[in-house]
């Protein structure tokens, strides 16, 4: 079991993800939280659960944030009648993609934190770790151009590779 659901609990999320907050400030807070937490992580498995590695590409069967995502979507359904993320979350991801168009393989705000923690963990442990893609339970895929290029993959190959997984990233020792 991954630790992300414990680290990014509803209290933290409610504190940071205020509907009328400045999007740049929220992104900064999420990245700062990732920096704070990355030093506490001892292994990638602790961070995100079990994975499968194929030739330097790591695949996660399940999103390590799925528990908190489910709770947030249920809370939003109770509030709005929509079984989706709050609109603010969608705006936040759009802003993140605008700021980091080549890196943003993210589907929800917790991708930002998860990917930043993973990359920081890698840097602290002499590894280059870069997001390639993630896929929602609804089969929506977000691809990081930078990660795709580092893995020497085409968009078609990335979509094929992630078809049965939630997340894919490249991991290389320095």
**pLDDT tens digits, one per residue of 31-45:** 888 888 888 889 999
Mean per-residue pLDDT, 145-160:
95
Mean pLDDT score across all residues of the chain: 88
Dist CA 44 CA 65 (whole Å): 14
Instruction: Please give the tally of structural domains in the chain.
Output: 1
The domain of 54 spans: 4-173
pLDDT at 143 over 50: yes
- The predicted model gives 150-161 an average pLDDT of 95
The answer to whether residue 160 scores a pLDDT higher than 70 is: yes
Confidence of residue 5 (pLDDT cuts 50, 70, 90): low
pTM over 0.75: yes
The 10 Å CB-count burial string (b at 16+, else e) for 106-130 is bbbbbbbbbbbbbbbbbeeeebebb
For 34-79, what is each residue's pLDDT tens digit? 888 888 889 999 888 899 998 889 999 998 888 888 888 888 899 8
pLDDT at position 14, please?
A: 76
Please name the residues in contact with 57: beta carbons below 8 A apart, sequence gap of 6 or more: 132, 151, 161, 168, 169, 170, 171
């Amino acid at each position: 079991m991954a630790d992300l659901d414990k680290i990014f609990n509803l209290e933290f999320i409610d504190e940071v993800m205020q509907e009328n907050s400045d999007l740049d400030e929220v992104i900064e807070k999420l990245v700062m939280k990732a920096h704070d937490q990355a030093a506490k992580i001892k292994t990638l498995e602790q961070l995100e659960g079990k994975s499968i590695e194929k030739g330097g590409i790591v695949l996660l069967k399940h999103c390590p944030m799925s528990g908190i995502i489910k709770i947030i979507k249920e809370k939003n359904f109770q509030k709005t009648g929509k079984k989706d993320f709050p609109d603010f979350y969608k705006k936040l991801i759009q802003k993140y993609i605008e700021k980091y168009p080549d890196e943003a393989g993210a589907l929800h705000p917790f991708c930002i934190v998860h990917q930043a923690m993973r990359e920081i963990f890698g840097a602290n442990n002499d590894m280059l770790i870069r997001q390639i893609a993630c896929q929602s339970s609804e089969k929506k895929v977000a691809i990081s151009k930078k990660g795709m290029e580092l893995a020497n993959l085409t968009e078609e190959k990335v979509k094929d590779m992630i078809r049965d997984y939630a997340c894919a990233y490249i991991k290389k020792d320095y």
